Structure 1
Amino acid sequence: MAMNILTTQQLFKIAPAIFAESPDKAVSDRYGFVPTIDVVESLQNEGWYPVRAQQTNVRNSDKRDLARHMIRFRQDPDRQMAVGDSIPELVLTNSHDRSSAYQLDLGLFRLACSNGMVTPAGDLGNIRVRHGKNVVDNIIEGSLQLAGEIPHISESVDDFQSTLISSEEAYLFARAALSLRYGEEWQAQSPISPESLLQARRNEDKEPSLWKTFNRVQENMMKGGVLGRSNNGRNTRTRAIKSVSEEVRLNRALWQLTEEFSKLKHHHPKQSMKKIYAA
């Protein structure tokens, strides 16, 4: 598969905060400012190339260069390790307004739906690097640590693919996902039902595996466009997740939910998920 590497001009157009030359004026003198583009270039020198970028929209134009932003990196195709039907990525997030440190996560890009995920890397989780003198070196070190977790993520995907779940269990999965998105009062807040969240966008995603169930829910939640009803009873469609922090948060939470379902299925193979959750 050909890889479309983003050029410097494309990065600037999509996420200008990557090129910020100074932090928020309110930060202290102890804040060690390092432009995100320096990190991008260093990762590229290590063989990780930027393939997607975005930043959170802000109303105040003066804050545009400080907004939280995200860049996804992928290795050269000759070095890529296949993870099921997906490709591993590094996901870098940052902001220059003190709201977040540099953060590096493992991600997966599913070829069938051109959809990106964020996966907690086992016990390692994610790499957080505070702004300071050694930002670049620490992130490069973190990228090596995360790359070492790719085989474990691949094992998880294989497990999810081989784990079959019933329609009742898929419903419980979608219901739990809606609570992650809208909170405990999701039934009052969500414009869509669990059944709507489970809709498949392609025939091959209809199979009853945990992996495909996760993919249907994740894609519908992230990309939006699912038909539902607003609180006043009008037909509406859900919106795509545009916030960088919310995208990362939800992706992590959905992955952890999938891991929990898998563990429950293996520990209680003859017991329905409904009974487990009721216990």
Structure 2
Amino acid sequence: MVRRPLAAVLVTMLGRARIESFVERGLCVLPGAFTARQAAAARDRVWRRMAEKAGILRDDPATWPPGYDIEERLHTPEVLACFTGQVAAAVEELLGPGRWRGERSWGFWPVNFAHGADRPYGVPPYGWHVDGNWFRHTIDAPRQGLLLIGLFSDIEPRGGGTIVSEGSHRRAARVLAARPEGMTHLELFDAVLAEPIGNFREITGSAGDVVLGHPLLFHTRGYKHTGPPRFISNTETGLREPLRLDRADGSPYSILEQSIRAALSGPPPVFTDPLHCRF
């Protein structure tokens, strides 16, 4: 891996290796950010909400669709308890002290029961996107903040984990920098995916792990060939104001800002095992 120098930062929660992974690859992992018991309590609440909304019953697999998304934040005690101080400290370390809006809740729950179980296992060539269909994408957009993925169940290999394209955030940053007027969701997808992407990684881990992803990291839902239903939450960690990529006043750049500056000043990403993908 080619390492680019980072500006001086006060490394506390994550450590330099994780920060360098975030800048170069577009993500890092905070293991055990909440407990397996906390994850199970939150998972129980998601099961109850799926029953209320769609008649999806834990004890009746006949009611399980291949996948189901709860597109809402769940402001219940057992869910809120999983947004621990450790998670908040890691978010603030990447976004900058006082720059995060600070909402400590988990939202958007894509549950994977059997997505792609009828297909040969591999990297899905479709569904590739970045989050944020509710705003116009610009290089300094404050709305998303991070791609924050909380694992609320254990996810083993081939267990339906999110698939990410490491380094794709660097191509996306370069595309957006060339379009200062901004881009719609689909315009951004078309531009980034006009050429193959690669460096694919399946997100696996234990209930309670949290993935801190770059907001421009392309990802898709993985095929699920094994294990019980997969529970994760993708959460917006919005900023108080737009990113600043030219801090002429000498104020410190956040790690997120440094990552975008590195993407624009360095070479374009090189992808192993490239694949033509689409939304």
Query: What is the TM-score of this pair, normalised by structure 1?
Result: 0.24
Larger Rg: 1
Higher relative contact order (CA 8 A, sep 6+): 2
**Greater helix content:** 1
TM-score by length of 2: 0.24
